[in-house]
Amino acid sequence: MTVDLPQTESGAAGLRAVLADPRGTLLALDFDGTLAPIIDDPEQAVAHPAAIAALARVGELIGTVAVITGRPARTAVRLGGFAGHAGLGSLVVLGQYGVERWNAADDSYDIPPEPAAVTAAGAELPELLAALDLSGAHVEHKGRALGIHTRQLPDPAGAFARLLGPLRTLADRHDLQLEPGRYVIEIRAAGTDKGVALRSLVAETGARVVVFGGDDLGDLPAFEAVTGLRAEGTPGLLVCSASAEEDALRERADLVVDGPAGVAQWLAALADQLS
């Protein structure tokens, strides 16, 4: 299988660099919407089996494979089925946008405690949701963040729009950040984003080529980091896992694939080409 060619000059150069220097390559991917389908219940959003199998094949052929996600690291590892998976023995999972970390090599976690501001905001959420007649919204407690999901409500888009203002006020009152996503609004502690996390991994690994794949607004900082690294002389490739719900990354990407199934197909083709 031949890997799809990027639609941009910078992306084509990035792919050539991956093929020429796989051991110097860092491949980092988002989790939800990229490796795992978006579904109504986020606690059941397991990774696409073909995507993980293909990622494992690539993981045996390139320098570093990482997952950078807004999920808690423990949740991503569980839903991804990463622990003990052949081919993913050197995988790094950066959770909570890079604050938490799991290393597959020794199955170790580094997880800081939940900030007091997040705990306080979480305590106010039930009353706020009840006042808006949106108590049915699913609240995901992530440790350093709170995810308020509207996907399971009768009018997900309308509920999302109604929640944005009140949740922004709540976040501001507790000096927290607000991060809109695909029918989810996150309130999280400041400190890092996926771009900072990606650049940190590049510095740590000494990567000479960088690939990042994502699907949502939370992935924009990582896209911007790759663009910045390219301007500094490090080849890079940006992959968008496309959906009908979010198109913020399409115009910024070098290559657009069709959701997690498309990511799986692209990774498998990349593994074929590398091997």
Pair 34, 98 in one domain: yes
Domain count within the chain: 2
Task: Please check whether residue 4 lies inside any domain of the structure.
Answer: no
CATH number at residue 71: 3.40.50.1000
Is residue 105 domain-shared with residue 26, that is, in the same domain? Answer: yes
Q: Which domain holds residue 160?
A: 116-188
pLDDT above 80 (res 145): yes
pLDDT confidence of residue 1:
67
pTM: 0.81
Residue type, 133: D
Do 210 and 108 belong to one domain? yes
| Predicted confidence (pLDDT) at residue 201 exceeds the cutoff of 90 | yes
* 173 domain-assigned: yes
pLDDT given at position 43: 80
Residues 100 and 226 placed together within one structural domain of the fold: yes
pLDDT digits (tens, 9 = 90+) for 29-59: 999 999 999 887 878 889 999 999 999 999 9
Is residue 2, in this structure, part of any structural domain at all?
A: no
d(CA 237, CA 217): 18
Same domain membership, residue 218 and residue 151:
no
Distance between alpha carbon 88 and the CA centroid of its chain, in Å? Answer: 17
Rg (CA), the chain: 18
Same domain, 64 and 128: no
